[in-house]
Structure 1
Amino acid sequence: MINLEFSVRPDQGDPSGFDLGDMTITGDLGAADSRGHYPDQGMMIYLTVPLLLYGLGRILRGEERRLRFIGIDTSFRVDFHRNKKGVSLSANRNKITNIEVAELASAVLLAAEALADSSLPTLPEKDVAKSDYLNTLNDFKALTASISK
């Protein structure tokens, strides 16, 4: 079991691809949240999510066995390890979950699409972060569909 949430922090002025946001991952063995830390672990969320999708794509396709994911402009880190049973996730050496590949892909896709639907429309049309996010999301969506078959 896994639940992911990506969010944009309020009150940052005009929306920008550099806006700060947070990541929350909850599994059956634990959780990781970028909120409430000192120093702050918020991240440039519109740049971080595509980086995560790209890195996870390499894990899901079997090109890499490990991903030490650190968001953009943060020290927040989540470790992914591909094993015979799927993928294990941990943060700060604490297990979050062990999950099947297809379930992980679907959960990450769902969270990335939710952020895209709720917040990307507020970014300027020519914002490079917006187009990169959408392109990476489309690639990840195709990968998720191929894994789920």
Structure 2
Amino acid sequence: MIQMILIELLLFSRSEEVISIIKLIFSFDEPVENISGFALGHIDVIFGEKTISSRNKIPDQSMMLFVTVTDLLDGYRKFYLSSKIEEYTCIGADSSFSISFKKANGNNISVEAGGEFLCEVNKNLLAKSIFEASSNFINRYINKLSKDDPVAEDLITFFFRFQRIL
């Protein structure tokens, strides 16, 4: 049975009067009770009718989810704040699956997953969505890690650093 850890990133991209939603789902293939900070799982990226996923790929593209969320928080924060960084790619830890962000017109960010273009969204909305999704992830799963797991401390540290850009 697949235990889903839902992290929803709701990003609204306006194209005339159409509002589209991007949803990221972080999931583990096994039930989650006590887990390691290096537990492997998957990312599914859903935009409209399209789903791009790290699952069921050859070679396997499962990734360390806690490490990947930490990287996403740190990397997007640096990308957001810098006028020199034009692109940021979050590659799943121990995986080749990636989500890329490129600066586009104005305050928009072009989003790609698994090498495929998904949409353009406002950088502030994207930051708020990443923060909310990370907050939900932390609130739901941080207590499932052992208290001395170094991944937990890193995740919390980068979460609070990210919060400062909002």
Q: Same fold (TM over 0.5)?
A: yes
The Cα shift of 1:92 comes to 3.9
Indicate whether 1:44 and 2:50 are aligned.
no
Q: Which contiguous aligned blocks of 4+ residues in structure 1 show a shift greater than 6 angstroms? A: none
| 1:28, distance to aligned residue in structure 2 (A) | 4.7
Instruction: Give the percent of matched residue pairs that are identical in Structure 1 and Structure 2.
Output: 25
Report which of the two structures shows the higher radius of gyration computed on alpha carbons.
Answer: 2
Which residue of 16, 39, 50 corresponds with 1:19? 39
Q: What is residue 32 of structure 1 aligned with on the other side?
A: 52
1:76-95 to 2 correspondences below 5 Å: 76-85=97-106, 86-95=108-117
Task: Give the match's secondary structure for 2:164.
Answer: helix
Q: Give 5+ residue unaligned stretches, structure 2.
A: 1-11, 13-21
Partner AA of 1:135 in structure 2: T
Over 3 Å counting, the alpha-carbon distance change for 1:9 and 1:29 in structure 2 is closer
Which one has the bigger strand percentage?
2
* Partner-residue secondary structure (3-state), 1:60: helix
Partner in structure 1 of residue 26 of structure 2: 6
RMSD: 2.1
Q: 1 CA distance for matches of 2:32 and 2:26?
A: 16
Instruction: Say if 1:31 and 1:102 are closer, same or farther in 2 by CA, change over 3 A.
Output: farther
- Correspondences of 1:1-149 after superposition (within 5 Å): 1=12, 2-11=22-31, 14-28=34-48, 30-63=50-83, 64-85=85-106, 86-143=108-165, 145=166
Normalised TM-score (structure 1): 0.85
The range that moved more, 54-63 or 27-36, is 27-36
Secondary structure in 1 matching 2:132: helix
**How many positions carry a matched residue from both structures?**
144
The one-letter code of the counterpart of 1:113 is S
Answer 1 or 2: which has greater helix percent: 1
Gaps of 5+ in 1: none
Distance 1:92 1:130, change over 3 A: closer
